[in-house]
C-alpha cells in the first residue's frame, strides 16, 4: 500500500497538520511525515513536534537562511529525491509557504497527486510571496480542501482543475484539541508582567522588512492604551537588531517582548488577552475558535481571511501607527459581543479531509 506523504516546513504547518496526522493514524492510513526544513530553530519547529506529540519526521533536512528562490529550489530538489525513493500515493501540503509550493511542484513533476489543505485563500495582494505560493499550488493540486465557501468560490472563479471540497480549517481542530492541555500545562501567565494586556505578533515580510512599517508597529505598541505582550518571530527580531531598534523597544515599559512561544503557551495568551494585533494568518483564524473568541486588529493592508472580518472578529487596520492606536481604543471601549461559532468550522476538518482522501485513494 502506498502511503500519504504529509509535508511540513514551518511553525503554522506543523500546528495545522497535527490534527490530520492524528486522523491518519486513527484510521491506520500509511503515512510518511516529512519536514522540508524551512523553519529550523528549535522554538520554530521541533518544539511543536514534541509539544503536539507528533511522530518524529521520517525524513527531514536542515535548510538555513537562503534567498526565496534558493530556498524554494533547495526544497524542490530535496522533496523530489524523497518522492523517487518513497513513491507515495499522494502528497498533502498545508498553506502558502515557499515549502508548500516547492513540495507541490516536486510532486506534480514526479506525476504524484497533491492535496492542498487550506486551498483557495486570496489576499489579492501580489506583493506577498504567500499569494504567489497559494495560487500556484492550487493550480497544480488534485484535491483542494477549501476551509470556507468563500475559498471555494475563489477556486471556482479561477477554474482550477482539481476537485474542491469545503472542509473547514484544521486550525480550529488544533485549538480544540490543544486548549484543554494548554490550560492544564502552561505556566506562561506567571511570566506575563500585566493582568490585562494586548497580544501582538508581526512577521510578514512586507511589514517587518519595511523599516517605516516596523517603526510604526513598535511605536503603536509603546503607545497602546493597554500594555502589549509580543512573542517575537525570528525574522522580526533580526530586523529590529539590524536597525538598532531592539534595545530601545525592549526597554519600553508598555511592551513585554518574549521569544517565539510553544503552542500551549501561545493558546493561553490568546485566551487571556483583551485584544490581538497581528499580521499572522493562523492567529486571525484561531481568534474565532469558540474557546478563544477575541477581537483582532489585522495590521496589514489586506487579508485572505475575510470571513473573520465579516463575522465581526477582525478589523483590517493597515500599518499606520495612529490608525492602529485609535482602533485599539475603539475596540476596547466598544466591547462588542462576538459570535459563538467560528466561520472556519467546528473542529472536524481533519476527519473530513482524511475521509475524503480514503474514499479517493485505495490505501
- Three-class secondary structure of residue 285 per DSSP: helix
Q: How far is CA 350 from CA 30, 75, 197, in A?
A: 16, 25, 33
- Three-class secondary structure of residue 115 per DSSP: strand
- In angstroms, give the least distance from the CB of 3 to ligand UD1: 25
Q: How far apart are CA 145 and CA 177, in angstroms?
A: 20
For residue 252, give the nearest of 335, 194, 180 by alpha carbon.
194
Which span (10-18, 159-167, 242-250, 305-313) binds ligand UD1, by CB under 6 A?
Answer: 10-18
Contact characters 253-272, ligand UDP, x per CB under 6 A: -------xx-x--x------
| Cβ distance to ligand UDP smaller for residue 51 or 88 | 51
| 43 DSSP assignment | G
Q: How far apart are CA 6 and CA 91, in angstroms?
A: 6
55 contacts: CB under 8 Å, gap ≥ 6? 21, 33
| Cβ distance to ligand UD1 smaller for residue 208 or 220 | 208
Q: Which does 305 bind (CB under 5 to 8 A by kind): ligand UD1, ligand UDP, none?
A: none
If one asks whether residue 234 binds ligand UD1 (CB under 6 A), the answer comes out as yes
If one asks whether residue 148 binds ligand UDP (CB under 6 A), the answer comes out as no
If one asks whether residue 231 binds ligand UDP (CB under 6 A), the answer comes out as yes
Contact characters 243-262, ligand UD1, x per CB under 6 A: --------------------
**Distance between first and last Cα of the chain:** 6
Grid cell digits, residue 297:
486588529
Which span (4-12, 269-277, 285-293, 339-347) binds ligand UD1, by CB under 6 A?
Answer: 4-12
- In angstroms, give the least distance from the CB of 184 to ligand UDP: 17
If one asks whether residue 280 binds ligand UDP (CB under 6 A), the answer comes out as yes
203 is catalytic: yes
Q: Which of 39, 116, 178, 203 is catalytic?
A: 203
50 contacts: CB under 8 Å, gap ≥ 6? none
Q: How far apart are CA 212 and CA 174, in angstroms?
A: 35
Q: Quickly list H helices, 189-252.
A: 205-208, 211-223, 234-242, 246-250
- In angstroms, give the least distance from the CB of 67 to ligand UDP: 19
If one asks whether residue 11 binds ligand UDP (CB under 6 A), the answer comes out as yes
If one asks whether residue 11 binds ligand UD1 (CB under 6 A), the answer comes out as yes
For residue 343, give the nearest of 270, 274, 286, 278 by alpha carbon.
286
If one asks whether residue 294 binds ligand UDP (CB under 6 A), the answer comes out as no
Grid cell digits, residue 299:
495590521
Interface residues with ligand UD1 (CB under 6 A) are 10-12, 38-41, 44, 65, 96-98, 129-130, 203, 205, 234-235, 238
Which amino acids are annotated catalytic?
A: 203
Q: By the criterion CB under 6 A, which residues form the site for ligand UDP?
A: 11-12, 15, 201, 203, 231, 233, 260-261, 263, 266, 280-283, 286
Amino acid at each position: 500500500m502506498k502511503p500519504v506523504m504529509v509535508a511540513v516546513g514551518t511553525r503554522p504547518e506543523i500546528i495545522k497538520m497535527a490534527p490530520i496526522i492524528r486522523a491518519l493514524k486513527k484510521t491506520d492510513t500509511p503515512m510518511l511525515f516529512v519536514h522540508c526544513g524551512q523553519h529550523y530553530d528549535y522554538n520554530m519547529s521541533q518544539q511543536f513536534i514534541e509539544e503536539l506529540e507528533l511522530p518524529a519526521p521520517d525524513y527531514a533536512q536542515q535548510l538555513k537562511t537562503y534567498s526565496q528562490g534558493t530556498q524554494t529550489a533547495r526544497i524542490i530538489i530535496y522533496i523530489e529525491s524523497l518522492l523517487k525513493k518513497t513513491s507515495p500515493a499522494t502528497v498533502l501540503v498545508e498553506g502558502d509557504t515557499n515549502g508548500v509550493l516547492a513540495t507541490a511542484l516536486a510532486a506534480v513533476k514526479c506525476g504524484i497527486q497533491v492535496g492542498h489543505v487550506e486551498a483557495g485563500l486570496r489576499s489579492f495582494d501580489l506583493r506577498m510571496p504567500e499569494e504567489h505560493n497559494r495560487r500556484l499550488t492550487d493550480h497544480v493540486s488534485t484535491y483542494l480542501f477549501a476551509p470556507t465557501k468563500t475559498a471555494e468560490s475563489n477556486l471556482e472563479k479561477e477554474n482550477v482543475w482539481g476537485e474542491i471540497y469545503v472542509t473547514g480549517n484544521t486550525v480550529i481542530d488544533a485549538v480544540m484539541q490543544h486548549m484543554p492541555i494548554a490550560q492544564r500545562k502552561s505556566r506562561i501567565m506567571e511570566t506575563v508582567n500585566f493582568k490585562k494586556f494586548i497580544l501582538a505578533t508581526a512577521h510578514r515580510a512586507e511589514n517587518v522588512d519595511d523599516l517605516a512599517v516596523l517603526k510604526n508597529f513598535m511605536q503603536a505598541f509603546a503607545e497602546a492604551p493597554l500594555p502589549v505582550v509580543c512573542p517575537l518571530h525570528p525574522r522580526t527580531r533580526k530586523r529590529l537588531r539590524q536597525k538598532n531598534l531592539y534595545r530601545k523597544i525592549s526597554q519600553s515599559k508598555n511592551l513585554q517582548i518574549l521569544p517565539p512561544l510553544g503552542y500551549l503557551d501561545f493558546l493561553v495568551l490568546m485566551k487571556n488577552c483583551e485584544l490581538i494585533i497581528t499580521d499572522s494568518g493562523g492567529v486571525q483564524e484561531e481568534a474565532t475558535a469558540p474557546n478563544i473568541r477575541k477581537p483582532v486588529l489585522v495590521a496589514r493592508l489586506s487579508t485572505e481571511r475575510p470571513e473573520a472580518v465579516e463575522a465581526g472578529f477582525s478589523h483590517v487596520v493597515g500599518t499606520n501607527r495612529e490608525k492602529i492606536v485609535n482602533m485599539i481604543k475603539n475596540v476596547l471601549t466598544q466591547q462588542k459581543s462576538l459570535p459563538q461559532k467560528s466561520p472556519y468550522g467546528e473542529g472536524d476538518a481533519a476527519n473530513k479531509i482524511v475521509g475524503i482522501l480514503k474514499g479517493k485513494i485505495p490505501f
